[in-house]
Structure 1
Amino acid sequence: MSETASTRATRRTPDRPLHAAPDLLSSLAPLLAAWVPRQRWFAGKGRLITGFSLVSATELLPCTADGGTPGMVQLLVRAQQAAPPTRATVAGDCYQLLLGVHPALPPRLAPAALGRPAGGPLRGRTVYDALLDSRLCGLLLERLRVPGRIGALRFCREPDTELPSGLPARPIAVEQSNSSVVYGDTFILKVFRRIAPGLNPDLELPRALAGAHCPRVPAPVAWFESEAAEEGGEPTTLGVLQPYLPDSADGWQLALHALSVRSDFTGPARALGHATAEVHTALARALPTTALHRPQLAEIAARMHARLEATARAVPLLEPYRPRLRTAFDALAALGHDGRSWAAQRIHGDLHLGQTLRTAGEGRWSLIDFEGEPARPLAERRRLQPALRDVAAMLRSFDYAARSGPAGGDAWSLEWAQRTRDAYCHGYAEAGGLDPHAAPELMRAYETDKAVYEVLYEARHRPDWLAVPMAAVRRLAAGD
């Protein structure tokens, strides 16, 4: 049977690879416009997508029309949106997409499907989320086993690190701000979805901690990245492979369980304070530090003020508390007036109970996910900051657990939160961290700033949870 003109026009020939096909993105755009906004990692919810622009495309597995084997393509695309950007969402955000291409998608992968392009080089084939296909996830591990370059991507591995082949891949289907795949019980691959140019802290900081011989953080063994946009610039981190800790439970689930059975949690909290201080000490030893004087403290306070004002405009429920919350930031700015300075260093940046793991046997804590708050710019996440910002964030997490667990914020659970918060602070000070009780202005400012961030997040994503940070707002506004 002879080819039609349409078939000849859309077939990809050897001298026109997939990434060079001019109609690749335009043919995928209708599918992406319907699929991308439904993903947890999409930062522009509530704003119309007006189009996409292609940053790069790399064919990891041939996407030919022949045979029944899947293809795989990695895309970096910018999502153009109609409404003006806010602090949390920048116009033209860049996202990483890993797409499978299959002539006839097996039924088990039906939930992963984006659809069939009506034209372009992938016309007539089903396009789907490759990170929900264990077979294609296995291909990513094979790429990491053999360092080298494929198109715009570079696959890297730590020297003297062996990665076994054939480990079964298990995609984690839980909705997250990124996507993860577990290989056997040995490794976990985090694939970053919202991409900012440069070195991601979730690769940078664990590597530095490994160099400082800090055992509290799983050390990266491999990663992949895209080449720097400018000569001499840093490559952009796209994914990180780390050891998987199969016999561990995350701190959030452990705390909720303790609340559900009305069990004391001060021992684990004190040990977690120790672990946090050890990580901060190692980061200060491995990476640059600085001192914050009056101008820097005033600048930090000004940013906190700006976030408060923007959040009060977006969430009117916050407005009555705004004047009293401002006093916490004013007190921070005033700290430098007497000539005092405060140490600043690299920190975790988004520390909460869900970013911690505790082994089932010895009860040892580890810290994970050093990416920082994904909604904030990469330069801000890599900024040197007081280590007590992490401590304040963890205190907010204990409060979250007490107010959202089975007890629902009753008198016993609130007392549990206070005891647990105190134990964590004592453990942190015992292990060499600055005693949080010795820096009340700093702690109140950072806890207030975190609560304001939580109000905006919950109002946008989980309105049913808004009461949790608002309870903290009322307490902090009262000066407690």
Structure 2
Amino acid sequence: MTIPPAEPGSGADLSLVGEWMASQRWFANKGARPMLEEIGRWELSAPAGARFVTHLLLDHTPGKPLLYQVPLSYRRDPLPGVEPIGRVGDDWVVDAPRDPGYVAALLRMLAAGAEVAGADTWARGGRNPAAVPFDADSPALTSRVLSGEQSNTSIVAEWTGTGAVPVICKIFRAIHHGDNPDVELQGALAAAGSPVVPRAVGHVVAEWSDRGRPSGRARGHLAFAQEFLPGAHDAWRVAIESAAAGEDFSARARALGVATAGVHATLSAALDSRPADQADIEDTLESMARRLETAIAEIPALAPHRSALEDVLRLARSTSWPALQRIHGDLHLGQVLDVPGRGWVMVDFEGEPLRPMVERNRLDNPLRDVAGMLRSFDYVAGSLAVTGGIDASEWARAARAAFAEGYGEASGDDLGERHALVDAFEADKALYEAVYEVRNRPEWLPIPVAGIERIAARVRN
């Protein structure tokens, strides 16, 4: 199905939109005024008195240029309860994910596999064959935008009283050439019947002009929809409450290790994998060495640990490395849900959103995910110490050990035999955290520093 292009219209009011973008959490160049160029736009079918226009806006502020997806709703009459961005001519301009009409139009496009021709771009919806049932035309549809997201915008769509499964649709704000791993990996896991991810519903893919590419064109994902899980609890909050109460979290941590191993096994079977060769090992260790130097330059107090951390890298070089495969890439407790009657469910396989897509789609070491979760347990204890003076260090030690045990038993990969390699990935993650904290939350710096000191002491002993 192809939707005819809408009547030609003007592009975005870049001054109005730029001022609004600068205040959004997903805008990367914090503190800078956007220098925007519209490189493309496309429209969804809209009712009389409305236009739903997705603008592709390239930000040229100093530093690395970044392309943003900015869907806007232009309405003759204001939307009740929705604060407008401003006015353009006779129209009120609204952030489109907050407009239920836009949400319904987007889901209709996705469900029908419709293609839209636009200005210097096109977009096409695609529905997963085993998608959950929903009806975007139903008057029972309600929608809301989730708060708290840093990099994207997620919309929950529900159909009151119909029995339809609620859907969550993520609008990717910073967009890149290449398949988004959030779409590809969760789609592959869902297609394999994995219970550890929500069921996939569908996606939107687009093509646009890109002067930096030899072909002059780029192609990538703009949105991804999957089942929404009502009643789910954020695993970070679950862990914080458990640690603060002094509860034994070992069984739950072990189950999370088993779930992580299951995700890795499914991804390895469904997508590419290959043995790590010497070039892979050297590239990874060189990246870790650069991270070490960056961290010491910003945090001189880490300098006494340089020698021990260099020893960590030397020991990792002589350790057996597991095969490279697709992984979550940014695994921590904040990327996991506790779903009643279902257990742990993992989400947000996007990796680090500001990294180039080609890097996020590379095969990687599964122990990177393991290290990320081990660091997350440390952060639970560390955050309680910083914010409430609570000593949860024993809770974290037990949770880390149980997670590693569960992962090792389920994967058949004894982490004790790879402890030097796990140390290297965990130290690398902690160094990344230290640089982040010294730049953004200096009072939290002791959390990653304690992890670095622990690893350094283990090597010295």
Q: Shorter chain as normaliser: what TM range?
A: 0.7 to 0.9
**Contact 1:154/1:227 (<8 A) preserved:** no
CA shift, 1:422, in A, is: 0.3
CA shift, 1:322, in A, is: 4.2
2:316 counterpart of 1:350: no
What does residue range 421-440 of structure 1 map to in structure 2 within 5 Å?
A: 421-440=400-419
CA shift, 1:318, in A, is: 4.7
3-state SS, counterpart of residue 328 of structure 1? helix
What does residue range 92-111 of structure 1 map to in structure 2 within 5 Å?
A: 92-106=65-79, 108-110=81-83
Distance 2:208 2:40 in 1: 12
Distance 2:99 2:379 in 1: 34
Distance 1:295 1:401 in 2: 36
CA shift, 1:211, in A, is: 3.2
Distance 2:21 2:439 in 1: 17
3-state SS, counterpart of residue 42 of structure 2? strand
Give the structure 2 partner of residue 180 of structure 1.
154
Distance 1:183 1:433 in 2: 40
Q: 1:154 to 1:293 in 2, by over 3 A?
A: same
Distance 1:477 1:308 in 2: 13
Q: 1:50 to 1:416 in 2, by over 3 A?
A: closer
Give the structure 2 partner of residue 304 of structure 1.
288
Distance 1:274 1:233 in 2: 42
Give the structure 1 partner of residue 243 of structure 2.
259
**Contact 2:330/2:351 (<8 A) preserved:** yes
Distance 1:463 1:194 in 2: 27
What 5-or-longer segments of structure 2 have no aligned partner?
159-164
3-state SS, counterpart of residue 109 of structure 1? coil
Give the structure 1 partner of residue 269 of structure 2.
285
Q: 1:269 to 1:158 in 2, by over 3 A?
A: same
CA shift, 1:464, in A, is: 4.1
3-state SS, counterpart of residue 52 of structure 2? strand
Give the structure 2 partner of residue 214 of structure 1.
194
3-state SS, counterpart of residue 425 of structure 2? helix
What does residue range 452-467 of structure 1 map to in structure 2 within 5 Å?
A: 452-467=431-446
What 5-or-longer segments of structure 1 have no aligned partner?
1-13, 86-90, 117-121
Distance 1:214 1:163 in 2: 21
3-state SS, counterpart of residue 221 of structure 1? strand
Give the structure 2 partner of residue 6 of structure 1.
none
What does residue range 124-203 of structure 1 map to in structure 2 within 5 Å?
A: 124-151=90-117, 152-159=122-129, 161=131, 162-165=133-136, 166=138, 167-184=141-158, 186-203=166-183
Distance 1:423 1:448 in 2: 20
Q: Tell me the TM-score normalised to structure 2 length.
A: 0.87
CA shift, 1:374, in A, is: 1.4
**Contact 1:77/1:95 (<8 A) preserved:** yes
**Contact 2:298/2:435 (<8 A) preserved:** yes
Give the structure 2 partner of residue 44 of structure 1.
29
Q: 1:465 to 1:33 in 2, by over 3 A?
A: farther
Aligned CA RMSD, in angstroms, stands at 2.7
70-79 or 190-199, which moves further after superposition?
70-79
What does residue range 266-277 of structure 1 map to in structure 2 within 5 Å?
A: 266-277=250-261
Give the structure 1 partner of residue 311 of structure 2.
327
Distance 1:277 1:268 in 2: 14
3-state SS, counterpart of residue 200 of structure 2? coil
Distance 2:341 2:6 in 1: 58
Distance 1:420 1:39 in 2: 36
Give the structure 2 partner of residue 11 of structure 1.
none
CA shift, 1:307, in A, is: 2.6
**Contact 2:73/2:102 (<8 A) preserved:** yes
Q: Which amino acid aligns with 2:316?
A: L
Q: 1:341 to 1:136 in 2, by over 3 A?
A: closer
CA shift, 1:281, in A, is: 0.7
Distance 2:195 2:305 in 1: 42
- The superposition leaves residues 324-353 of structure 1 with CA deviations (integer Å, 9 ceiling, x where unpaired) of 433323332344xxxx55311111101111
Give the structure 2 partner of residue 70 of structure 1.
50
Q: 1:476 to 1:134 in 2, by over 3 A?
A: farther
Q: Tell me the TM-score normalised to structure 1 length.
A: 0.83
3-state SS, counterpart of residue 70 of structure 2? strand
Q: How many residues align?
A: 437
**Which of 367, 372, 375 in structure 2 is aligned with 1:388?**
367
Give the structure 1 partner of residue 447 of structure 2.
468
2:30 counterpart of 1:30: no
- The superposition leaves residues 449-474 of structure 1 with CA deviations (integer Å, 9 ceiling, x where unpaired) of 11122223334444443332233233
287-296 or 269-278, which moves further after superposition?
287-296
Q: 1:194 to 1:320 in 2, by over 3 A?
A: farther
Distance 1:426 1:244 in 2: 31
Distance 1:300 1:194 in 2: 26
CA shift, 1:214, in A, is: 2.0
Q: Which amino acid aligns with 2:135?
A: P
- The superposition leaves residues 23-65 of structure 1 with CA deviations (integer Å, 9 ceiling, x where unpaired) of x34xx2222332222222222224x3461122211122469xx
Q: Which amino acid aligns with 2:184?
A: E
Distance 1:225 1:35 in 2: 25
CA shift, 1:433, in A, is: 4.4
CA shift, 1:100, in A, is: 1.6
3-state SS, counterpart of residue 310 of structure 1? helix
